[in-house]
């Protein structure tokens, strides 16, 4: 992790926790981090609840002035209109969402989202003032055939095409084989791909964007392995699935700077 980028620890709840559970969770997370004297300026924390929780989380965060960011897990590539079931980026911006996850491997696999769809959604997020967390990553088969970087690099190139150099984005490198499998990549593997992804940001958006853009690692991150990833110069945080649903475990990940050797 480079000193000039504030690390981001982002919890992707997937389809877990209803709006009442979300309120209880975010309250407990805030208390736990406050009790532990967490420095929110030194490591940013964000949660990504289901759409139906967002208004409740927004209200709680505003009322209690919590330093916890939040975002959605997807958005429509369209602004408004006859798109039943879709959610516009404009609506998410109205709910004070800072971020939106785009191109998660579960969306790519279960909802057939290809790189063109991911690019359109990335552009829609930026248009509505949201920071897209653009997910890229190779399957086990890709890894065997092409090595670790080729597929995520190609995915990111398409996603970023057409963005302005000033676009505020986050990239999440999530090897598909590591998601929910309990088998995380090694810090070395994550660093190698993160460095290649930063080169893509540089090539398409320029030096300034490459220097400021945060690149996260995701895939079976836990409190016991986060420190290793965060020691890598091109890894600026993590996108966390399963472990983000346990307040104590997630808090411990967020407080990685307290772990030995970081």
Annotated binding site for substrate: 12-14, 180, 220, 241-242
Residue from 11, 71, 132, 218 touching ligand PEP (CB under 6 A): that is 218
Is 78 designated active site?
no
Q: Which residues are annotated as a binding site?
A: 12-14, 180, 220, 241-242
The answer to whether 221 contacts ligand PEP (rule: CB under 6 A) is yes
Give the x-and-dash track for 143-182 against ligand PEP (CB under 6 A): -------------------------------x----xx--
The Cα–Cα gap between 124 and 130 comes to 9
The count of chain residues that interact with ligand PEP, using the rule CB under 6 A, is 13
Binding track over 2-31 against ligand PEP, x by CB under 6 A: ----------x-------------------
Of residues 237-256, which lie at the interface with ligand PEP (CB under 6 A)?
239-243
Q: How far is the CB of 59 from ligand PEP (least distance, A)?
A: 26
Residue 183 contacts residue 242 (beta carbons within 8 Å): no
In SS3 terms, 196-252 reads as: HHHHHHHHHHCHHHHHHCEEEEECCCCCCCHHHHHCCCCCCEEEECHHHHCHHHHHH
- Smallest distance from the beta carbon of 229 to ligand PEP, in angstroms? 12
Query: Catalytic one among 104, 106, 113, 138?
Result: 104
* Closer CB to ligand PEP, 151 or 240, in the complex: 240
DSSP E strand stretches across the chain: 8-12, 44-48, 69-72, 99-102, 131-136, 170-173, 214-218, 237-240
CA distance 173 to 176: 9
Distance in Å, CB of 48 to ligand PEP, minimum: 9
CA distances from 38 to 19, 66, 76, 91, 147 (A): 25, 12, 35, 31, 38
Read off the DSSP letter of residue 42: T
Token pair, residue 119, equals 């690019």
Of 63, 20, 41, 216, the closest CA to residue 136 belongs to 216
Residue number, 136 or 204, with CB nearest to ligand PEP: 136
Is residue 50 part of the contact set for ligand PEP (CB under 6 A)? Answer: no
* Among the listed residues 7, 49, 148, 219, the single contact to ligand PEP using CB under 6 A: 219
Annotated active-site residue 113? The verdict is no
Looking up tokens 């090595």, which residue turns up?
A: 147
List residues binding ligand PEP (CB under 6 A).
12, 174, 179-180, 218-221, 239-243
Q: Catalytic residue numbers?
A: 104, 174
């Amino acid at each position: 992790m480079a000193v000039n980028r504030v690390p981001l620890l982002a919890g992707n709840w997937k389809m877990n926790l209803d709006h009442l559970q979300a309120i209880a969770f975010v309250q407990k997370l805030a208390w736990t981090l406050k009790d532990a004297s967490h420095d929110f300026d030194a490591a940013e924390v964000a949660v990504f609840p289901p759409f139906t929780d967002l208004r409740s989380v927004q209200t709680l965060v505003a009322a209690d002035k919590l330093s916890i960011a939040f975002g959605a897990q997807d958005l429509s590539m369209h602004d408004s209109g006859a798109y039943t079931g879709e959610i516009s980026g404009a609506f998410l911006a109205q709910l004070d969402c800072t971020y939106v996850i785009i191109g998660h491997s579960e969306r790519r696999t279960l909802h057939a989202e290809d790189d063109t769809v991911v690019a359109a959604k990335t552009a829609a997020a930026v248009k509505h003032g949201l920071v897209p967390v653009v997910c890229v990553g190779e399957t086990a088969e890709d890894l065997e055939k092409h090595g670790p970087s080729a597929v995520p690099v190609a995915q990111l190139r398409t996603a970023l095409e057409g963005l302005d150099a000033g676009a505020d984005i986050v990239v999440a490198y999530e090897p598909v084989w590591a998601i929910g499998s309990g088998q995380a990549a090694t810090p070395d593997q994550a660093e190698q791909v993160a460095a290649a992804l930063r080169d893509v940001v540089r090539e398409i958006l320029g030096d300034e964007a490459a220097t400021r853009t945060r690149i996260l690692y995701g895939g079976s991150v836990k409190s016991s392995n986060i420190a290793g990833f965060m020691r890598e110069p091109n890894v600026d945080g993590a996108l966390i699935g399963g472990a983000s649903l346990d307040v104590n475990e997630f808090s411990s990940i967020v407080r990685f700077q307290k772990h030995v050797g970081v």
